[in-house]
Chains A and B, each alone.
Chain A
Amino acid sequence: MRTRLLRLPKLSPMARREALIFYLCISPWIIGFLVFLAYPVFRSLFLAFHHYRIGHAPVWNGLDNFRHMADDPLFSKSFGVTLEYVIGSVPGSNIIALGIAMLLAQKIRGVGVWRTIYFLPSVVSIVAISVLWSYVFNPQYGIVNNLLDMIGIKGPGWYTSETWAMPTIVLISWWMVGTQIIIYLAGLKGIPQEYYEAVEVDGGGPWSKFRHITIPLLSPVIFFNMVMGFIGAFQVFDAAWILGSGSGRPNNATLTYMLNLYKQAFEFGNLGYASALAWVLFVVIMGLTALVLRSSALWVYYETEKK
């Protein structure tokens, strides 16, 4: 520490003053970082290896929390449910968003109006949307089943059916794709028009343009949207809580990972176990991101623009 302190006087008085102002300026963040980030990270890592109930002292239990997951049926159930959601939601919503963005990128009239309509579902809270979903997908008299009935299809029980509960929640994510659309749209706008013209000159049709120009040049954006999608999807909670009446109904079909974590921590009071669950989720998300990142070398095309 002493050597560090001795380094400061080497600065000129002006520079010292500036450094002082700098640290003064960023002091809110430093306090926030220490109290609400650094400490919680270490504390939660510490708790993950302890048996801990609120009001009691944490008791070291080594890897017990993690071992317990192996034979905790709720853990495997919630992991499966979440995986189902991730697999259903991320690719699906990205395909839909990319499709819409490509339509919007054409030379069409009233882009602003179209964009507004497509973005609107994404501004409202998922809670309001889930409440709306519980009405629209009401198994008996909801408008969706009514319309299906009109064309002679008997609609499923949606969020009340064990098979269909998660797909119903996936549908919400397919519907709230405004953010992805805008990111794709910005990406598409960044592709130089000459590339497409070059394909036209070579006699290529729309498919070649899509396959050989759009996809490679958009791949960094696709990559970004996928990673953000995975991170968000693994933490799905709001819609599952509302549509599953807060208890993973029916028969834990909507018990997502975060819902299980919440219940472990705040309903059963197993704060140590819940911390371990949080770290497992963190590792899974990081692992998956790393995997996508590694694989990105194979399919993400970065333009090397070195001036």
Chain B
Amino acid sequence: MTTKRQLTTQPAPRRWALRRNWRMSKSTGRRIRLTITYILLTAGAITMAFPLVWMFLASFKPEWQILTNPPIWIPSKWVHVNAGDSTKEIALWKVENPEGEEVQVFTIGTRRYTTAVDINALADVLLSVPADQLSDARAQTVGDVTLNVRRQQGGGEVVALARDGSNLVVAPAEVVAGAAQRLPLDLVNSGARANITIGDYKFQARELDEDILLALGPESQLTVSVPKSTAQDIFLVHPEELSDPQFFHIGNTDLQLYRLEGRPGDQRFVQVGLETWQPVLEMDEALEHGYTIPTEDLPGTPEIRAFELATMPVYTFTQEDGSEQEVILLTQTGPNSFVIPVDAATTIRLSPLEKLSYPFVKTVDGVSLRYLDDYEEQGEKHSIVIVGERIDMTMVVPQASIDEAFDVDSGSLDRVLKVRFRLENYVEALSRDVGGATFITFYKNSAIVVFLNLLGTYLSVIPVAYGFARLEAPGKNTLFLVLLSTMMIPFPVLLIPTYEIFRTLGMLNTLWPLFIRAFFGSAFFTFLLRQFFMNIPRELEEAARIDGANTLQVLWNVILPLSKPALLTIGIFTFWWNWNAFFEPFVYVNSIQNFTVTLGLAFFKGQYVYNYHWLMAAGMTTIIPIIVLFFLAQRYFIEGIQLTGLKG
């Protein structure tokens, strides 16, 4: 130790000691550094990958999940349950029942509430305050009620009650809270309008049981929920079948209760909802058994008859042979009526209107039939005809079935979700009309452009590069310098004359401008290939020549097989740049029939600005070919870039 201390003044050992120290910590230091490296790499990779992952996920989401806060990460769909035997789907919700268990429910009725106050109770505390001295209103629970509370500058919390010019009439929140109560909105609104003046202030209130009520909000809503299993008891009835309306309460919400005409027993039914329905019929059945008769042959008034799954007008008309035939009127076009015998109509049923948007029309036997080919019903596709008149039907459920009903605040209901990647987005996006064409056309155009660019590039670049690499001629070096210098010219300078050239040649609005120049060589690819050719030993070529091969044979049999990597790089870059190109196609092509995918996507965005689910699906399809190419040939991408980066 003593010797060492003495030696510390000497420079050499000190350095040695330092190094030693440093060496001991080297492995830990390296480990820490590596850990930091991995953390940073992961963070960076997440940032880099996130937008593309988000795009991928969004391309499978239904439209309602596209712009939400908080975000919905995994594409999913709403879960529905069928209402009894009908094809009506009822939304399912998740909620805690009174026992505190989470249950799946559907809702059968709501009631809106508001906070109301008797204005007379506040007469002494009213105050007029300039609006700009008040903060924005914020819903806040004070005492037993929820109020829209504002903060007054230099004062306390207040509730605004009425306007007074540019001022607001306010009262202290605490006083309001003491006098206010939560009341059903329909009850408050059932009071007579009362324009009342207190002091200098005017109020628009309602008079109810001698109270002058002022609705203050915020409004809330209670929902009656019943367990999912109850859905199987729902059935549809025609409004005319309902009789003896009564009210009945679940918690604080009123539900309508009816008897049904013609149903035995003392059974009462709860109204679950009202819905407009449309009768539909299997297409095969309609075409096989339906026929056209003159409308005037039908007797004046039909009998409205309830079938198993629908209620339809039934006519009894006399056939030519004198026998009587009961028919259902399906549709009318001008003087013609399309009918089907009652016995033959076995598939008539009701369909909710929302499933019948955008039907097709065809004419059969003098009448127009509206039909759908891909009507989905309980997971199966049907071909159906839309027949008869729309009917407002009531969905009811026996009172006995809803003994587990309870009411909850609407805000506490959450949709029941199921993970589902919506592939339909892709089908819809690709078949969507973009100003007279679809993405299928754009794909075809892009494929043509890319193919002809590849062809043109190879046909022109190979001989040019070979010439510069192997052949001797006067002026060669000068020409090569010219070739290199052309890489420096930025394209904006060439843009307008090139446009003129294509215009003169009549090539504007065709695909020609997008590939024709590839047939005349490219300085960049020529340079790249020439460098590669230069590295192929001349001896190989000379050996072939001694065997009697001409230039073309040498090129084909000796040079090209050895140049595969460079040729692949050129091909990949040609594909990459032309597939992604936007500016030049944008300038030279105006007719939508000749759009490439990139152009198509840009205009698709112009047309479907907020349909992000389609935009993302369309976007995905335009980037997938490039991404696949990248994964197949990553090496060539990277080597190509290194080559251009380090030698260019």
Contacts and interface: CB of A to CB of B under 8 A. Distances in A.
Interface of A: 7-8, 11, 15, 18-19, 21-26, 28-33, 35-37, 39-41, 43-44, 47, 54, 100, 103-104, 106-108, 112, 114-121, 123-129, 131-136, 138, 140-143, 146-147, 149-150, 175, 179, 182-183, 186-187, 201, 203, 206, 221, 224-225, 231, 235, 237-238, 241-242, 245-246, 258, 261-262, 265-266, 271, 274-275, 277-279, 281-282, 285
Given A118-B44, A149-B69, A224-B645, A237 B497 contact: no
Nearest to A274: B496
Contact of A203 (B18, B489, B493, B616): B18
Given A33-B486, A114-B41, A123-B637, A282 B464 contact: no
B582 A125 contact: yes
Interface stretch (B287-295, B356-364, B515-523): B515-523
A127 B587 contact: no
Contacts of A261: 492, 495
Contacts of B520: 28-29, 31-33, 35-36
B524 to A, nearest CB: 12
Interface in B457-504: 459-460, 463-464, 466-468, 471-474, 476, 479, 482-483, 486, 489-501, 503
Contacts of A30: 479
Contact of A131 (B460, B479, B500, B605): B605
A221 B647 CA distance: 10
A139 to B, nearest CB: 11
Contacts of B22: 203
| Interface residue SS majority, chain B | helix
A108 B627 contact: no
B645 A41 contact: no
A1 B36 CA distance: 70
B453 to A, nearest CB: 14
B579 A125 contact: yes
A100 B42 CA distance: 11
A203 B466 CA distance: 53
A117 B48 contact: yes
Majority SS at the chain A contact face: helix
Interface stretch (B80-88, B162-170, B211-219, B618-626): B618-626
B623 A124 contact: yes
B579 to A, nearest CB: 7
A36 B479 contact: no
Contacts of A108: 34, 37-38, 41
A54 B496 CA distance: 10
A44 B602 contact: no
A40 B501 contact: yes
A127 B523 CA distance: 26
B615 A131 contact: yes
Contact of B55 (A21, A117, A132): A132
Contact of B598 (A47, A127, A187, A221): A127
B474 A7 contact: yes
Contacts of A285: 490
